[in-house]
């Protein structure tokens, strides 16, 4: 979804956020298999869900603006 958003958007801040989310997803996947101590689980889940929630909000906002302009 972040890659599609990056390709479809013409707003620089949306492209920057989509690129940052793509990088964060790669880091999350690496971190998930590298270190997953019991202390880090809740913190990791909170940050991961916040990033996914922001991506969903950003995609939804972009689609709404796209439909309003057509």
Domain ranges of the chain: 2-69
Task: Give the residue carrying structure tokens 């019991």.
Answer: 38
- Residue 15, C-beta contacts closer than 8 angstroms, at least 6 positions apart: 6, 9
What's the pLDDT at 38?
61
Question: Angle between the 38-69 and 12-34 helix axes, to the nearest 10 degrees?
Answer: 160
CA distance 20 to 65: 21
- ∠ Cα 64 13 18 (to 5°): 75
* Between 59 and 68, residue with greater pLDDT: 59
- Model confidence, pTM: 0.81
Q: What is the pLDDT of residues 4-63, one digit of tens each?
A: 999 988 889 999 999 999 999 998 888 877 776 666 778 888 889 999 999 999 999 988
């Amino acid at each position: 979804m972040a890659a599609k958003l990056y390709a479809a958007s013409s707003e620089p801040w949306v492209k920057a956020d989509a690129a940052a989310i793509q990088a964060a997803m790669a880091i999350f996947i690496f971190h998930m298999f590298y270190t997953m101590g019991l202390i880090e689980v809740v913190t990791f889940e909170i940050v991961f869900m916040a990033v996914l929630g922001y991506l969903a909000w950003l995609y939804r906002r972009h689609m709404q603006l796209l439909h309003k302009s057509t």
